[in-house]
Amino acid sequence: MSVQFDRLATLDLKMLRTLLVLIETRNVSQSANLLDLQQSTVSYQLGKLREVLGDPLLIRSGRGFEPSAYAKTIQPGLAAHFNAMENLLFGDHFDDKTATGTLRLACHRNGSRKFVRAFLGELNRRLPLVRVEIVDWTEQVPTMLKDDRIDFAVGFEPEHSSQLLSLPIVDVGYQVVMSQDHPMADKMLSEERIFDYPHAVLSSNEAIERWLDYLADRHKKSRVVEFSSTSMEFTTMALEGTERLMFVADTKDDFFDGYNVATQPVSFIAHQTVKLLYHERASVDPLKRRTLEIIKTTASKVFA
């Protein structure tokens, strides 16, 4: 029997469950209430966990407790193992109100504001003890999904997405965005004229870039790109007071309301489908399976 197993044998499932709840709540009193335990019992279990694992786990700060780096590292895997064990032993029983864990979602900024707000609200209502981390969509999304660094991604399906599952969320057209004082702000841009002005590129959407390059070749035009960023905010700011054009999906989002820009739909760029991407492991883990349901339900409401 290994030394590691001997150390593990000094703990029990209740202690490990306490650890997960402590990491989520960062509060001994709140954890005790959720676990129906005395605060002294939770404090004792935390002390025992610290002793066996050789780590402070929770560190006092000005805001209460903060999980240590080690606690943050082990939390996703520990929660997944608990959920998988419960599913293995007791079938499909899953308690939304007591489930814990951290969900990691990558989301394309284009049109995601309304979806993210609705998703966070629904998640807080359905899975109150589950934490969520949202990161920007980048070209690394497929690799991050395969490597289990994120659980889900919402955006335009990239190339090299083999081994991943995808579900269509909404079919979207495109719009051109420009400064409010742009010469074409109150006129309809034709397919030929879009290359008379420099472009600002949202570089996290490869498909639209390929389409615009194709149109430039077809019309024997040169395409000038003056600004490029993965950030929707920075790219939009780069339009103000210039003659640059930006082409993005028209998801009926209110993102551009806070900027001095004008928008108009374009019919000469092919529609695309916003998709939910995930690895097949999300179909096995009970927490991720429930989250998958929540994402699909939220998307159907937001993009109806």
Phi/psi at 160 (5° precision)? 60, 45
Q: Do 101-171+273-303 and 174-270 come out as alike in CATH topology?
A: yes
Q: What does the pLDDT read at residue 3?
A: 54
Predicted TM-score (pTM) of the model is: 0.62
Give the domain ranges of the chain.
13-90, 101-171+273-303, 174-270
Write the pLDDT tens digit of every residue in 194-251.
Answer: 999 999 998 767 778 888 999 999 999 999 999 998 788 899 999 999 999 999 888 7
Q: What does the pLDDT read at residue 264?
A: 93
Mean pLDDT over 149-160 rounds to: 82
We find that the CATH architecture of domain 174-270 is 3-Layer(aba) Sandwich (3.40)
Contact indicator for 278, 165 with CB cutoff of 8 Å: yes
27 pLDDT tier (thresholds 50, 70, 90): confident
Measure the CA–CA gap between 102 and 23, rounded to whole angstroms.
Answer: 10
Q: What does the pLDDT read at residue 236?
A: 93
Mean pLDDT over 52-67 rounds to: 85
Q: Indicate if the pLDDT at residue 182 is higher than 80.
A: yes
Write the pLDDT tens digit of every residue in 31-56.
Answer: 888 888 898 999 999 998 898 888 99
* Residue spans of beta strands (DSSP E) within the chain: 58-61, 64-67, 101-107, 130-136, 152-156, 164-179, 199-202, 225-229, 245-250, 261-266, 272-279
**What residues have CB less than 8 Å from 18, skipping those under 6 apart?**
31, 35, 37, 42, 45, 46, 49
Q: What does the pLDDT read at residue 221?
A: 92
Rounded to the nearest 10 degrees, the angle between the axes of helix 28-35 and helix 39-53 is 110
- Higher per-residue pLDDT: 108 or 45: 45
Q: Indicate if the pLDDT at residue 269 is higher than 70.
A: yes
Q: Indicate if the pLDDT at residue 111 is higher than 90.
A: no
- Higher per-residue pLDDT: 291 or 284: 291
Q: Which of 82-86, 198-202, 295-299 has the highest mean pLDDT?
A: 198-202
| Angle in degrees, CA 145, 79, 57, rounded to 5 | 110
Q: What does the pLDDT read at residue 1?
A: 47
CATH number belonging to domain 13-90: 1.10.10.10
Mean pLDDT over 151-157 rounds to: 86
Percent of the chain scored above 90 by pLDDT?
Answer: 25
Q: What does the pLDDT read at residue 91?
A: 62
Phi/psi at 106 (5° precision)? -100, 135
Write the pLDDT tens digit of every residue in 126-152.
Answer: 999 898 998 888 888 888 888 888 999
We find that the CATH architecture of domain 101-171+273-303 is 3-Layer(aba) Sandwich (3.40)
